[in-house]
Chain A
């Protein structure tokens, strides 16, 4: 075989192997620790069964609703051109990095007991429980599903739409010939991914769920550890959560998940079908409804937060410091892990294609890892050595870095693979090696995706309300946790001010990293 790619150097092998070992220790190692503590004799109580049923059922309903609504929404976005279309498509990406707890606040402002809808119809709605959890999950995942499916629509060559127009096909025939095969390919992956996200989502379940009829497994783990101090119960639940996630992830891999996290949206193909008044009207009504459903909560956060921004309670500032420190550190860790793993995968691809593919799958598998399973495992491993509650910050950093790894890897790996393919060979032919080769031939091509991935990772970490809720002592918090504590003590005005500060900081971090990647950029 031609030595087209860089031979596997010792540095690469060590860095990549180290990253892999760390990743496996955090994902599978923690599961092992949990397994050792789980007491299977005790079995599952009725409350545990209820939690399992609720987890699966809400995820099924949320994923189904998200996808069913996303199909016509994506179609409307694909076949209509209107002012603000680009803005709407961009904003559909917002919920992905919107902190969960902030979204809950916005949803409560619209659908809560004293929210806009309750005021409008004159009856107070109850948003807590099943319906609230599903509502919040649809709010989060409808945009994600719409973007995935829209991507599918945009991947249909524009020539095909011209061809259907030339052949005089009706809207129904175009649907049958072009759109249904695309949907058959795209929808199952989108559905499973959203199902997985709904199983592992914590902030929504914490804030809107709870009680015997609306507790997810993730929430039950949290309660077992935080309130009952029942480690073996938590471990048993963590094993169940691990099984649920692994099964879903395996199914997702099997049918191939859709590509394209945060991919820039192309110009839509011009369309000649769907021009009848009925189609235009349904599309308009649909886009307006979805637009209101998604953007009114976001707007309400802005409107309610702004007046409170100058009167933030004092505990906000140390929390802000903690959050920023966690976000920046875990972003750096995620990037280092992704770079080391990508380099190893790219060098292996030339010779051992299968092992490279396996590594890639492992990198993405942490998407299925539940932060609480990892957290519980770390708790068990650290408990004999240090007080886990004193190690809240490092644990949060580690968990956040692993959780954002799949997204970072998805951005960085293809870029590195392309850079190696086109410029690595050029570098080799010119006799560049080691650090010089990386700095001159590869890094300029990676800077931009790395900046984007770091921004994404920092924003995700900034807004995360997961393990920190499990470990944080009462006198210590992050910004999302502070917000949650304010909400549970009904200080909604202060909470909305914190929400705005949180969004602003997340966006600022994302912007700073992304911008950093574009500085001194000479690549077209």
Chain B
């Protein structure tokens, strides 16, 4: 279903951001722009962590502007702290099935399958501190997989990883979202990430989130705002 940002107006302290566009289902969209430009704020508003001062957010025809985070059709992965340090990988994933972790046998099986799907067979009983940075984010992806929400939001969860590992993770995300036709929105300040994964790009700069544009078209003929950002 389409996500509609209807005259959305966000304010955090002195910072303001406006967005007025639609996101069609199934696209992979990069949110590109300078740091401090409002990319994370926009994701935070979609996920229900930042209340807009004006406008609405619609999912299909349903107004989700005031829904609590858990009732929204989205999963947000943060840059870090996606896992609880005192719970094992399996438990962290299990939270996506049942927040009180009282899982039935078949639910436990589902958790193990998700673990295998992100390539972490046999790591289920490890705690986050025993996993590498990339493995930790794989656990978070596995939980997102089980939550099975129509929209996945990535707030630079792979920013701390090296280039090869980052591409590996983006491939994993691409594979998972393609299988379930999930809409993907990911924050980045690197144009090559947009080229690598995203068919559309939302340019966020100077207080405005612009409507998504085909990534190739955008870079072939960059508007003034993008030129200023790229420094070309």
Kindly supply a per-residue 1/0 record for chain B positions 47-59, scoring 1 wherever the CB is within 8 Å of any chain A CB and 0 otherwise: 1110000000000
Q: Are B100 and A166 in contact (CB under 8 A)?
A: no
Instruction: Tell me the nearest residue of chain B to A275, going by C-beta.
Output: B68
Q: Are B99 and A159 in contact (CB under 8 A)?
A: no
12 example contacts (A-B, Cβ-Cβ < 8 A) are as follows A157-B81, A159-B78, A159-B80, A159-B81, A160-B84, A166-B69, A166-B76, A168-B68, A168-B71, A169-B99, A272-B68, A272-B69
Given A166-B76, A167-B99, are A177 and B70 neighbors across the interface (CB < 8 Å)? no
Chain A residues, CB < 8 A from B80: 159
Q: Chain A's nearest CB lies how many Å from the CB of B201?
A: 25
Q: Report the Cα distance A251→B39, complex, angstroms.
A: 49
Kindly supply a per-residue 1/0 record for chain A positions 341-377, scoring 1 wherever the CB is within 8 Å of any chain B CB and 0 otherwise: 0000000000000000000000000000000000000
Q: Report the Cα distance A160→B49, complex, angstroms.
A: 12
Q: Which of B83-115 touch A at CB < 8 Å?
A: 84, 86-87, 95-96, 99-100
Q: Which of A142-159 touch B at CB < 8 Å?
A: 157, 159
Q: Report the Cα distance A508→B175, complex, angstroms.
A: 65
Q: Are B96 and A167 in contact (CB under 8 A)?
A: yes
Given A173-B99, A173-B100, are A166 and B75 neighbors across the interface (CB < 8 Å)? yes
Count of CB-CB pairs between chains A and B under 8 Å: 52
- Which residue from B70, B78, B84 sits with its C-beta under 8 Å from A165? B70
14 further interface pairs, Cβ-Cβ under 8 Å (given A162-B69, A173-B100, A270-B49): A159-B78, A159-B82, A163-B81, A164-B99, A165-B48, A165-B70, A166-B76, A167-B96, A167-B99, A167-B147, A168-B68, A168-B70, A169-B70, A173-B99
Q: Chain A's nearest CB lies how many Å from the CB of B43?
A: 11
Q: Report the Cα distance A165→B86, complex, angstroms.
A: 18
Chain A residues, CB < 8 A from B48: 165-166
Q: Report the Cα distance A178→B80, complex, angstroms.
A: 16
Q: Are A165 and B68 in contact (CB under 8 A)?
A: yes
> A170 an interface residue at 8 Å Cβ cutoff?
yes
Instruction: Tell me the nearest residue of chain B to A168, going by C-beta.
Output: B70
> A43 an interface residue at 8 Å Cβ cutoff?
no
Q: Are A162 and B49 in contact (CB under 8 A)?
A: yes
Chain A residues, CB < 8 A from B99: 164, 167-170, 173
Q: Chain B's nearest CB lies how many Å from the CB of A381?
A: 51
Q: Are B81 and A167 in contact (CB under 8 A)?
A: no
Q: Chain A's nearest CB lies how many Å from the CB of B24?
A: 24
Chain B residues, CB < 8 A from A167: 70, 95-96, 99, 147
Determine which residue in B68, B84, B147 has the highest number of CB atoms from chain A within 10 A of its CB, and name it.
Answer: B84
Instruction: Tell me the nearest residue of chain A to B75, going by C-beta.
Output: A166
Chain A residues, CB < 8 A from B76: 162, 166
Given A165-B69, A166-B70, A173-B100, are A178 and B81 neighbors across the interface (CB < 8 Å)? no
Q: Which 3 A-B pairs have the closest CB atoms?
A: A168-B70, A159-B81, A157-B81
Q: Are B84 and A177 in contact (CB under 8 A)?
A: yes
Q: Chain B's nearest CB lies how many Å from the CB of A357?
A: 23
Q: Report the Cα distance A169→B96, complex, angstroms.
A: 10
Q: How many residues of B contact A (CB 8 A)?
A: 21
Q: Chain A's nearest CB lies how many Å from the CB of B133?
A: 15
Q: Report the Cα distance A167→B144, complex, angstroms.
A: 10
Q: Chain B's nearest CB lies how many Å from the CB of A244?
A: 34
Q: Report the Cα distance A163→B70, complex, angstroms.
A: 9
Instruction: Tell me the nearest residue of chain A to B72, going by C-beta.
Output: A166
Q: Report the Cα distance A176→B47, complex, angstroms.
A: 24
Q: Which of A164-215 touch B at CB < 8 Å?
A: 164-170, 173, 176-178, 181
Q: Report the Cα distance A153→B95, complex, angstroms.
A: 21
Q: Are B78 and A162 in contact (CB under 8 A)?
A: yes
Q: Chain B's nearest CB lies how many Å from the CB of A162?
A: 5
Q: Are B49 and A163 in contact (CB under 8 A)?
A: no
Q: Report the Cα distance A457→B114, complex, angstroms.
A: 57
Given A170-B99, A173-B99, A173-B100, are A163 and B82 neighbors across the interface (CB < 8 Å)? yes
Q: Chain A's nearest CB lies how many Å from the CB of B166?
A: 20
Q: Report the Cα distance A162→B50, complex, angstroms.
A: 11
Q: Report the Cα distance A169→B47, complex, angstroms.
A: 15
Q: Are A166 and B81 in contact (CB under 8 A)?
A: no
- Which residue from A165, A169, A173 sits with its C-beta under 8 Å from B49? A165
Q: Report the Cα distance A270→B51, complex, angstroms.
A: 11
Instruction: Tell me the nearest residue of chain B to A185, going by C-beta.
Output: B86
Q: Report the Cα distance A169→B68, complex, angstroms.
A: 11
Q: Chain B's nearest CB lies how many Å from the CB of A508?
A: 35
Q: Report the Cα distance A168→B147, complex, angstroms.
A: 11
Q: Chain A's nearest CB lies how many Å from the CB of B127?
A: 12
Q: Report the Cα distance A176→B98, complex, angstroms.
A: 14
Q: Report the Cα distance A47→B38, complex, angstroms.
A: 70
Q: Report the Cα distance A168→B82, complex, angstroms.
A: 15
Q: Are B86 and A181 in contact (CB under 8 A)?
A: yes
Chain A residues, CB < 8 A from B87: 177
Chain A residues, CB < 8 A from B84: 160, 163, 177-178
Kindly supply a per-residue 1/0 record for chain B positions 116-151, scoring 1 wherever the CB is within 8 Å of any chain A CB and 0 otherwise: 000000000000000000000000000000010000
Q: Are A160 and B81 in contact (CB under 8 A)?
A: yes
Chain B residues, CB < 8 A from A165: 48-49, 68-70
Chain B residues, CB < 8 A from A169: 70, 99-100
Chain B residues, CB < 8 A from A272: 68-69
Q: Report the Cα distance A34→B165, complex, angstroms.
A: 66
Q: Which of A265-309 touch B at CB < 8 Å?
A: 270, 272
Q: Report the Cα distance A201→B69, complex, angstroms.
A: 49
Q: Report the Cα distance A521→B82, complex, angstroms.
A: 39
Q: Report the Cα distance A169→B71, complex, angstroms.
A: 11
Chain B residues, CB < 8 A from A160: 81, 84
Q: Chain A's nearest CB lies how many Å from the CB of B68?
A: 6
Chain B residues, CB < 8 A from A164: 99
Instruction: Tell me the nearest residue of chain A to B71, going by C-beta.
Output: A168
